[in-house]
Amino acid sequence: MNITIVLHQPQDLVNIGGVVRAMANMGLERLTVVDPAEFDPWRITGIAHRTEHIVEDARVAPTLEEALANATYVVGTSARPRTAQRNYRRPRDLAPRILRRAHDGEVAIVFGREDRGLSNEALDRCHEVLVIPTSPSHASLNLAQAVLLVAYELFLAGAAAPAELPTGKRSLGPATAAELEETYRALAAGLASIDFFKARKPESVMRVLRTIFGRTTLDAHEARLVRAIGYETRNRVERGDAAATDDTAGPREPLPPG
Ligand code: SAH
């Protein structure tokens, strides 16, 4: 299945063992570990027996950005909603969509470190954020148990789904996380060039835009169009009106960000 469990900076090997075991139990096989405190395949398979097929193929990535670059759908997880401007979902409601999106491209589900969870910056990279319902007085689950509950919902949703999901052929696949990040950089550059942010906080404006685009499914072509809007706006402002003559020819190659 095209679903990767991504652990961001896990601090405890025992938890990685617990995660791997939960994945094996629920039929998930792809693991990426980002900047772990330690990662020792031999000790992990000592904790979680018969999981070599997961641990030996696990990817260790230096940054979250690298881990997510090829993902076309990124789901974060959080013990509690922190800022209002996000797409929060329950695992049971989101599981069918996660499975559908795994047909189209690579889905990443991101879990945070044991002591701090995911930073706002990390959550900004997620199209939607899963919150597992809990007692309000103890919202924070153990990392491996959080993975187990999400994987369990995916397992149930997979069993309930018809064997062959209807898939409309798209002309272009969904945009990858790396393409979307470039699109957001271009939009921010365009908005800054027309002084749109003024008293607004760029970070909050961009978060709302990320939330909106996170709810839709931009394909690669659509992401490029939005990106061109951002860069063309900036280019036009930087060139001044006089130099901007022939704009009927469609978007030009955008300048690199900067
Ligand atoms: N002290 C941290 C908790 C980190 S728990 C905080 O309050 O944010 C480690 C990770 O387990 C979290 O980053 C998240 O990925 C997952 N997790 C824990 N409880 C969860 C919950 N109720 N819903 C969704 N994910 C949860």
Q: For the segment 188-211, what is each residue's pLDDT rounded down to a tens digit?
A: 999 999 999 998 999 999 999 999
Mean pLDDT of 234-243: 81
Amino acid 248: pLDDT: 43
Q: Please tell me whether residue 89 adopts helix, strand or coil conformation.
A: strand
Predicted model pTM: 0.82
Q: Does residue 246 surpass a pLDDT of 60?
A: no
Pocket test for ligand 1, best of 113, 128, 141, 150 (most atoms within 8 A of CB): 141
Q: Does residue 169 surpass a pLDDT of 80?
A: no
Strands 3-8 and 107-111: parallel
Q: Which residue has the higher pLDDT, 254 or 64?
A: 64
Pocket test for ligand 1, best of 12, 78, 87, 130 (most atoms within 8 A of CB): 78
Share of the chain above pLDDT 90, in %: 80
**Mean pLDDT of the residues in the chain:** 90
Atom of ligand 1 nearest to the CA of 110: 15
> Could you tell me the distance, in angstroms and rounded to a whole number, from the CA of residue 144 to the centre of ligand 1?
10
Atom of ligand 1 nearest to the CA of 139: 22
Residue nearest to atom 15 of ligand 1 (CA): 111
pLDDT tens column, 86-144: 889 999 999 999 999 999 899 999 999 999 999 999 999 999 999 999 999 999 999 99
Q: Do 231 and 190 touch, CB atoms closer than 8 A?
A: yes
Residue nearest to atom 5 of ligand 1 (CA): 114
Residue from 4, 45, 47, 59 nearest 28 by CA: 4
Give the domain ranges of the chain: 3-158, 177-248
Amino acid 243: pLDDT: 54
Amino acid 233: pLDDT: 95
pLDDT tens column, 23-61: 999 999 999 999 999 999 999 999 999 999 999 999 999
- Residue 175 corresponds to which amino acid? A
Q: Is 94 exposed, middle or buried (0-12, 13-18, 19+ CB in 10 A)?
A: buried
Residue nearest to atom 20 of ligand 1 (CA): 79
Token representation of residue 216: 């839709």
Atom of ligand 1 nearest to the CA of 112: 13
Ligand 1 interacting residues, C-beta cut-off 6 A = 77-79, 111-112, 114, 116-118, 130-132, 134, 139-141, 143, 146
Class (C level, CATH) for 3-158: alpha beta
Amino acid 3: pLDDT: 97
Q: Please tell me whether residue 120 adopts helix, strand or coil conformation.
A: helix
